[in-house]
Amino acid sequence: MEQRLVIEVNHTHVCIELPSQVFSVAFSPDGQTLASGSRDYTVWLWRVSDGTLLRILEGHTDAVLSVPFSPDGQTLASGSDDHTVRLWRVADGTLLRTLEGHTGPVWSVAFSPDGQALASGSYDNTVRLWRVSDGTLLRTLEGHTDSVESVAFSPDGQTLASGSVDTTVRLWQVSDGTLLRILEGHTDAMLSVAFSPDGQILASGSYDNTVRLWRVSDGALLRILEGHTNAVLSVAFSPDGQTLASGSEDNTVRLWRVLDGTLLSTLKGHTSWVWSVAFSPDGQTLASGSVDKTVRLWKLG
């Protein structure tokens, strides 16, 4: 497969063109590698400094929807339309294991902060928690009444958030699977959730075109971020917690000030839906993946 690197000076960003639609992007913890998951069943690993393609991970039999790195950067997880989660060794691309059990597409996967557990959210309405070391299913969290589109661990690893097409966010106690709280307010499907770095705020993006910010301690709605003209597909906090990025079906990425919800900037360049956004560990670069078959790296600093 051929990859091309194009510099677009007008938008101060790098555009990497792929042969298929991009559904997920993620930076490695050291910020040197970027992973992208695509409709063509593959995961691509890139060197961030110059856009060089390092390797392609093949094995899934349907679209790859989520591609987080483990906290130590040695393992990559991938969730897919083929109902499985796969764990890969980043150093050489070896497939370590395949986690099977979901009965629908796996929309989102996330590592716990200590790297010992993995959460997966699926079209089968469930969240599953797995032990990374051997792939054992630890527990299944049930309660959502529609597809679970996004999962995220709190920074302390004690709470798991899940966002669903049923328009709710659920907060679960990781240790025993207890449902702690249900956050209600969105008027359409929930597509993405993310915790702030200090764990005090949860962001959620929805098909109702809004981003909502919630106080984790009591579930209070802090503010609604309005401005997108179509569904919000992805949200991500900057490492310092001061900025939130959102990717949308309106083909844009928006940057918001978390403190008061002010829209800081709108990043334009994609020509189709922006499925995924991710900040680099130093907060100086934002990656976005799109249905337009590109990954874009935006220089923020």
Greatest alpha-carbon pair distance for the chain in Å reads 51
Give the mean model confidence (pLDDT) for residues 219-224. Answer: 98
* pTM for the model: 0.95
- Nearest CA-CA partner of 109 in 136, 61, 76: 76
pLDDT at residue 51, as a whole number? 81
Q: Please, what sign has the CA dihedral across residues 192, 195, 196, 197?
A: negative
- The residue type found at 256 is W
Q: Are 72 and 29 in contact (CB under 8 A)?
A: yes
pLDDT for residue 9 is more than 60: no
> Model confidence over 94-108: pLDDT tens digits?
999 999 999 999 999
Class of the domain covering 4-299: mainly beta
The share of the chain scoring above pLDDT 90, in percent, equals: 93
> Model confidence over 236-277: pLDDT tens digits?
999 999 999 999 999 999 999 999 999 999 999 999 999 999
pLDDT for residue 10 is more than 50: no
* Distance of alpha carbon 267 from alpha carbon 63, whole angstroms: 26
pLDDT at residue 12, as a whole number? 63
Give the mean model confidence (pLDDT) for residues 146-158. Answer: 98
pLDDT for residue 5 is more than 50: no
Q: Are 200 and 215 in contact (CB under 8 A)?
A: yes
> Model confidence over 28-63: pLDDT tens digits?
999 999 999 999 999 999 999 888 899 999 999 999
- 3-state class of 11 per DSSP? helix
Residue given tokens 């956050």 in the structure block: 183
pLDDT for residue 3 is more than 80: no
Q: Please, what sign has the CA dihedral across residues 197, 233, 41, 53?
A: negative
What's the chain's average pLDDT? Answer: 95
